Amino acid sequence: MGIIRHTKSVKSLIQAFNESENAISVAVLLKRFKEDMNKTTVYRILDRMEESGVLHSFIGKDGDRWYSKYTENTSASSTISHPHFQCDSCGKSECLTLDINIPPLPNHKVDSASLLLIGQCQDCLIEITQ
Amino acid sequence: MGIIRHTKSVKSLIQAFNESENAISVAVLLKRFKEDMNKTTVYRILDRMEESGVLHSFIGKDGDRWYSKYTENTSASSTISHPHFQCDSCGKSECLTLDINIPPLPNHKVDSASLLLIGQCQDCLIEITQ
DNA sequence: AATATAATGCAACTTTGATGCAATAAGATA
DNA sequence: TATCTTATTGCATCAAAGTTGCATTATATT
C-alpha cells in the first residue's frame, strides 16, 4: 500500500471537485482534462481518490459512473448509503442528505444500497415554469 | 410505429425470460445466444420488448443493464418504481415487491427512482452458514 | 403465391476502460 | 542542494460494449 502523491494532475482533480457543488461524471472529467492529462491518468487518480476516502462514486441513471467528494452530511453514516438525485433534463447529479428507510427484506442480508431519484432539479423546474 | 413480429429470435428470448425467475443481464444474454443470433439482434429485440412493455430494465450495481419481465407484483404501480436486489456474491438480480417510501425532496420534482439493494441472496447466505 | 416491410446478419466503427512498460517527477534523505 | 527511491504518468495497444448503415431474409397480410 503506497502513499498518494500530490502531483499536478491530482491537484487539478481536487480543485475540480472543490469548485463543484455537485457530483461530476467520468465523461465530463475526461473531456475537461483532455488537454492536461492522459485518460488513463484520470481513471487512475479517481480510483486512488476513492480508495483513500476522499471521493465516493455512484452509478448514474444511464449506468455511467459519477464521483463526488464527501461532506459532513453525505459521509457514510448509520444509513446504508446516502441517496443521489439526477436530473432528467440537464443530467446533473447531486448527493442527498435525505433519509430513506429500507424495510427489512426476508431471506436476504442487505449490506448497501444504490438509491437514485430521478426527475427535475431546481434549475430545470424554474426554466419550465418560466 | 411498427408491429413486433414473432420471429425465431424473439421466441428464444421470450422463452429465456419465462424460464428465469430473476432478471437477466445483457452480458449473460449475449453469451447464451452467441451461437443463435447476432449481438445486434439481441440488443434490438431487448429494446423492442422493453418499448412494448413486455420487459423492463434497470441498472445493476456495476452499471450494467438487466432485463426482467413484468409480473402482477412488479408492474408499475402507484409506487415510483419497484426496487431490485443484487447479490454481491453470485451477482444474481431480483425484482422486489418491497415498498420503499421516498420522503418529499424540497425544490425537486421526483419522477422515478432507481432503487437497488445490495447484499447476500438467500442461496449465498445458506452457503455461508454451512 | 405475391407483396410489403419488419427483422436480421454482417462489417465497420465508436466509446469506454484496462494493461504493460518505459520515462518522469514527487518527496525523502543525506 | 544533490541524490535516490518509487509512485505516477504517458503512450501504445488491446478488449469489451454498444451503435449504425445497408443488403438480405423472413414474417404476416392480401
- In this predicted model, what pLDDT tens digit does every residue of B18-65 receive, in sequence order? 999 999 999 999 999 999 999 999 999 999 999 999 999 999 999 999
The structural domain count of chain A equals 1
Q: Å from A22 (CA) to D5 (C1')? A: 38
Contact B120 A109 (CB under 8 A): yes
Residue A32 included in any domain: yes
Is A1 a domain residue?
no
Burial code (b: 16+ CB inside 10 Å, e: under 16) for A92-120 equals bbbbbebebebeeeeebbeeebbbbbbbb
Angle at A76 between CA A103 and CA B88, to 5 degrees: 60
Is residue B100 situated within a structural domain? yes
Asked if the structure places residue B55 within a domain, the reply is yes
Closest nucleotide to B6 by C1' from CA? D27
CB contacts of A105 in chain B (<8 Å) are: 85, 96, 98, 117
Which residue in B109, B115, B118 is closest to A111 by CB distance?
A: B118
Is the pTM value of this prediction over 0.85?
Answer: yes
The two beta strands, B84-87 and B65-69, are unpaired
Is the pLDDT score of B111 beyond 60? yes
**CA gap A14, A52 in Å, rounded:** 13
Is residue A38 included in any domain, yes or no? yes
**Strand C atom within 7 Å of A80 CB:** no
Q: Which residues contact B11 (CB under 8 A, 6 or more apart)?
A: none
Residue B84 lies in a domain: yes
Nearest to B102 among A61, A100, A110 (CB): A100
What CATH number corresponds to the domain at position A33?
1.10.10.10
User: Residue A72 is part of which domain span?
Assistant: 8-129
Model confidence at A15: pLDDT above 70: yes
Residue B114 is assigned to a structural domain of this protein? yes
- Model confidence pLDDT, tens digit, residues A34-51: 999 999 999 999 999 999
CA of B44 to C1' of D9 (A): 41
Cα–Cα distance measured from residue A85 to residue B59, given in angstroms and rounded to the nearest whole number: 15
pLDDT at A56 over 80: yes
Tell me how close the Cα of A77 comes to any Cα of chain B, in angstroms: 17
B100 CA, C9 C1': Å apart: 44
In a domain, B2, yes or no: no
